[in-house]
A = this chain, B = another copy of it.
C-alpha cells in the first residue's frame, strides 16, 4: 500500500521552500528572473543592491532549493528559473502578494513613467505574453472560440487547429499543460500561459509581430504584427498601442 509523504516532511519542505522566497533580496532575484532570461550573478547583485559575495550565497541557496538553474560559462555564472513550474509558482505568489492591497503608486520620474507604461502595454512573463497585449490576445482568442475561459481554462479544438495553421502545432509535453491561465499583474485578469502561451510568444517574436524594447522584458507590437493580429484574431488595433 502506497503511503503518503509524512506530514513532517511536507511541513518542513513547505517551510524551507517559503524561506527561500522570504528574503527580500532573494525575492528580488526571482522576480527579476521572471523575465525568462538568464542573468549573471553580478547583474543580479547590482540589481538588488547587495555585495557580490552576498548574491553568490543567495544563488547557492536558490539553486540548492531547486528554484534556480545555474550554468557556468567562462567567468560568468548564468542563472535562470529552474522551469516553467517554478515560474508559475512565483507568479502566483506575487499575484497574491501584490494586488488590491494599496493602489498602484505613481512613478516619480518621467523615465520611470514611460518604462512603466511600456511594461503595462506589453511584456513577456517568463515565456509568454502579458500586459495589455497579452490580455488583448487572450480575450480575442476567447471571443473567436479558440479558448474557453467560462468553465475553466482550456483550448478548444478550433484553437488547436488555429495553432497548427499558424505553423506552430502544439505537442503535449511532460507535465506542463497545453493551456493555463496566468493572472496578469497589471490587468488583473488571466492571460494565456502554458505550452500554447509559450508557442504564441515564440512565434510572435520569430515572425516579428512584436519586438523587445532594448534588453528589457517590455515588448512593442510592430506595424506588421498589428496587421497580423487584427486579421488573424480580430484584435482591435487600439488595444495594441
Contact = CB atoms under 8 A, between A and B. Distances in A.
Interface stretch (A53-61, A147-155, A201-209, A230-238): A147-155
A3 B118 CA distance: 10
A194 B101 CA distance: 24
A19 B9 CA distance: 19
A165 interface: no
Nearest to A187: B2
Interface stretch (A70-78, A178-186, A221-229): A178-186
Interface residues on A, range: 35 or more
Interface in A55-88: 66, 85-86
User: How many of these chains are in the complex?
Assistant: 2
A11 B155 CA distance: 33
Contacts of A155: 151-152
A31 B12 CA distance: 11
A28 interface: yes
A22 B27 contact: no
Nearest to A114: B1
Contact of A98 (B9, B19, B26): B9
Given A18-B27, A120-B2, A85 B89 contact: no
Interface string A13-56: 11111111111101110110000000000000000000000000
